[in-house]
Structure 1
Amino acid sequence: MKKKTAARTGAVVAMTVLTIALAACSKQDAAPQGGAKPTVGVVTLKTQPVSLTTELPGRTSAYRIAEVRPQVNGIVLKRTFTEGGNVKANQQLYQIDPALYQATLDSNRAALARAEASVKSAALLAQRYKPLVETRAVSRQTYDDAIAARDQAAADVLSAKAAVDTARINLVYTRVLSPIEGIIGRSSVTEGALVTANQTTALASVQQIDPIYVDVVQSSAQLLRLQDQLAKGLIKRAEGDQAAQVALTLEDGSQFNQQGKLQFSEVTVDQSTGAVTLRAVFPNPDHRLLPGMFVRARLSDGVRDQGLLVPQRGVARSQNGNPTVMLVNAQNKIELREIKTDRAIGSNWLVTDGLKAGDRVVLEGLQTIRPGAEVTANEVAATPAPADQNQAAPAAAAQAR
């Protein structure tokens, strides 16, 4: 019994010694060799003027739209345009049967000639009666009737001229013309169709898309925040043409090759969305933008003179979601600090609180440090240099072998 107890005691002592030895080895492995401090890459912050832009969603709309409708009744004899093609202003699009309107014009011209003949006769009669009434050869009543007949005949001439003008206009309306220059869509009628004046269905639509409108929406809260920053002097308006310039990103992610200008802003907030509509106008010579396309517009808000930019790769998030950075303080020790950011600008965050010029933010070696650790700081570029593709390709080929 004593032998068994002694054996168990020896085993426990041996296991304790082994555990202590393993712990000592692990501590030796974890300790840096020669007591060297971790090396981190940092970037020293400095203030600089930062142009602030806002990216907003929007849609394109035609600069001008004209729905073509007939102004007289009749049968369509022919269509004189190609669907989807370009048309000029006052170019003929349809021909309505003009026979009835030509006959009406001829009849009104004849009525005008008859009225002009009557006015000549009435004027001559009044002229003859004038000396006779002075000698009392004719009565004053007869002379007054002659003057009234002359004036009535003159009025009949004016009425006949108006009828001729109306008939001429109706005859012109049988040639349906394009009111604007642009691209015409599909036709809703064919030859032989009966059309009526001012019908609800348009014969075709013409849209001018060079230039073209881009309507974007901005939240009223964002607008108020911008106005507040301007009032406090945190940012200032961009000067010159830059203040109104707008750039576009298309649906496929490509950049539109033309710069636009902000034309106006609505003064009423949409009650259903809480947003304000802004309208920009863009040149569109290649007709790359079509009405109804979804785009993203970048508008210039202003310039922050003392802007502070921090690379995004140096910013992390705390458990409560706030942005944080690791700093190297004056004692070369790591410090964790919460910051406030306004917006992303390229690969950087615009910081509004928590940092100042001269702070050293850790960009490289974040995995090997913790707050309070003493480190060696080396300045690095804020934007990492891209790998050389000419060297990377042979290395990849060698690995494949």
Structure 2
Amino acid sequence: MRIKLMLILFPLLFALFLLGCEKKKPMPQIPEVSVIKIDTEEILLTTELPGRTSPYKIAEIRPQVSGIILKRYFTEGSNVKAGEVLYQIDPAQYKAAYDNAKAALSRAEANLQSVKAKYERYQELIKVNAISKQEFDDVKAQYEQTLSEIEALKAQVRNAQINLGYTKITAPISGRIGKSNVTEGALVTAYQAQELTRIQQLDPIYVDIPQSTKELRELEKRLEQGRLKYAGKEQNKVKLILEDGTDYPLEGTLQFKDVTVDPTTGSVTLRAIFPNPKGILLPGMFVRAVIREGINKKAILVPQQVVFRDTKGNPFVYIVDKENKVQIRPIQVDRTIGDRWLVSEGLEVGEQVVIEGVQRIMPGAQVKPVPYTEQKKEQSR
């Protein structure tokens, strides 16, 4: 009898126990999330583009007369100055040609004296009809012909002197000279296809930067629409990042923008000039150029961790609306600036974006927003 009574009472007691537990179960709490309030700031926008260095000036050294190289005066890889002698071509035949032209000129000038004196006498005689008109015309023609011959011989002397001077091959510009393609004893010909050597001026130095016409047009649109402002005198300043990732210490200046589009790449070339006093930049180096686009006075920047992407790759953020409910907000991002995204569309000043606690929320859920502070940021690290 006692066992039967216990079997009847046990289920009743167990049910009462469960009912008491349900009454004591706490009410669900509203999740707390950290939020940042959207505000604008003024930033300088830059674009990083690939570039390649090229010499400021380049001179391909070729002979202007033919002959045998007698001497090379420069050290390969050294710096030379404009006017410095680089090679000496055997001058013997050119010296002889110059001396011969001078001698012929001297003979013609000596002959001119007698022809001129005769012409002056005939001028007086023709006035009194002491000679015939034909005799006077012959003497006059001889005099004028002698004058013409002298002018031609003077030109020959100048030409021979120029050719003699060309036997000394000099540097047309100052700069760094490369290797020599000929040695002493080599036969060279005037204006040959192969250069003897090459001089490149490296201080300053050019950096050629290709930019797509699409990017260029988008930049122009932002400037026209007022979303970007010119950065004044600093607009044309350019910075360089070297191949090893280090910053080049000196700033350059944007010189010009080419007007011809490369049909193979769809880009135009921007050319910047950089001081290169220590010769760090060498021709043909690949670099990264940081070009200033302009100033965005109302830029909206958000930390990268608040931006998520849907299955199609479209960016979005979680915001807390005025009723403290979570909403998904699609946005458009322009680029990364440091550890933040530049938002071009989708957010307004004063809106609250969730930065911490997204694991505990879902769209439409009620939340308790708490401002995200620098102190919390340090603690999370």
Same fold (TM over 0.5): yes
Asked if structure 2 preserves the Cα contact closer than 8 Å seen for 1:311 and 1:383, the reply is no
**Partner residue, 1:267:** 259
Which runs of structure 2 are paired with 1:44-63 in the superposition (5 Å)? 44-63=37-56
Match of 2:98 in 1: 105
Partner of 1:168: 161
CA distance in 2, matches of 1:368, 1:274: 48
Looking at structure 2, the residues matched to 349 and 228 of structure 1 have their Cα atoms a distance apart, in angstroms, of 21
Matched, 1:357 2:349: yes
The alpha-carbon distance between structure 1 residues 383 and 167, as it changes in their structure 2 partners (threshold 3 A), is farther
SS of 1:101's equivalent in the other structure is: helix
Deviation at 1:382, TM superposition (A): 11
Classify 1:276/1:386 alpha carbon distance in 2 versus 1 (closer, same or farther; 3 Å).
Answer: farther
Correspondence for 2:295:
303
Asked if the contact 1:90/1:178 (under 8 Å) is kept, the reply is yes
Specify which of 185, 188, 211 is matched with residue 204 of structure 2: 211
Cα 1:132–1:73, aligned 2, differ >3 Å: closer, same or farther? Answer: same
Q: What's the secondary structure of 2:374's corresponding residue?
A: coil
Taking a change above 3 Å as real, the CA distance of residues 104 and 304 of structure 1, as seen in their structure-2 partners, is same
Q: Aligned-pair distance for 1:364? A: 2.8
Return the letter of the residue paired with 1:330: K
Aligned to 1:288: 280
1:34 Cα offset (Å) = 8.3
Deviations for 1:248-293, whole angstroms, at most 9, x for unmatched residues?
Answer: 1111111111111111111222222111111111111111111111
Deviation of the 1:300 alpha carbon: 1.5
The CA deviation at 1:352 is: 1.4
Q: 1:385 to 1:97 in 2, by over 3 A?
A: farther
Does the CA-based 8 Å contact 1:326-1:362 persist in structure 2? yes
Q: Which amino acid counterpart does residue 185 of structure 2 have in structure 1? A: G
**What is the CA RMSD across the aligned residues, in angstroms?**
2.6
Kept in 2: contact 1:79–1:94 (CA 8 A): yes
Of 308, 311, 335, the residue aligned with 1:316 is 308
Match of 1:394 in 2: none
Larger deviation: 203-212 or 142-151?
A: 142-151
Alignment of 1:189-268 (within 5 A): 189-239=182-232, 241-268=233-260
Report percent identity of matched pairs.
Answer: 48
Match of 2:33 among 16, 40, 50: 40
User: CA separation in 2, counterparts of 1:107 and 1:318?
Assistant: 90
Contact 1:39/1:378 (CA < 8 Å) preserved in 2?
A: no
Per the alignment, residue 130 of structure 1 pairs with: 123
Alignment coverage as a number of residue pairs: 363
Query: 1:264 touches 1:279 (CA, 8 Å); kept in 2?
Result: yes
Q: Are the aligned partners of 1:43 and 1:382 in contact in 2 as well (CA < 8 Å)?
A: no
Letter in structure 1 aligned against 2:313: G
1:326-341 → structure 2 map (5 Å cutoff): 326-341=318-333
Q: TM-score, normalised by structure 2?
A: 0.89
C-alpha distance in 2 between matches for 1:183 and 1:191: 21
What whole-Å deviation, never above 9, does each CA across 1:23-60 have from its counterpart, x for those lacking one?
x99xx9xx9x8855444332222112222211111111
Structure 1 CA distance for aligned equivalents of residues 330 and 165 of structure 2: 76
The secondary structure found in structure 2 opposite 1:118 is helix
Unpaired runs of 5+ in structure 2? 1-10
Q: After superposition, give the CA deviation of every residue in 1:188-246 in whole Å (9 maximum; x if it has no partner).
A: 0000000000000000010111111111111111122222222222222222x211111
* 1:246–1:259 CA contact under 8 A, matched in 2: yes
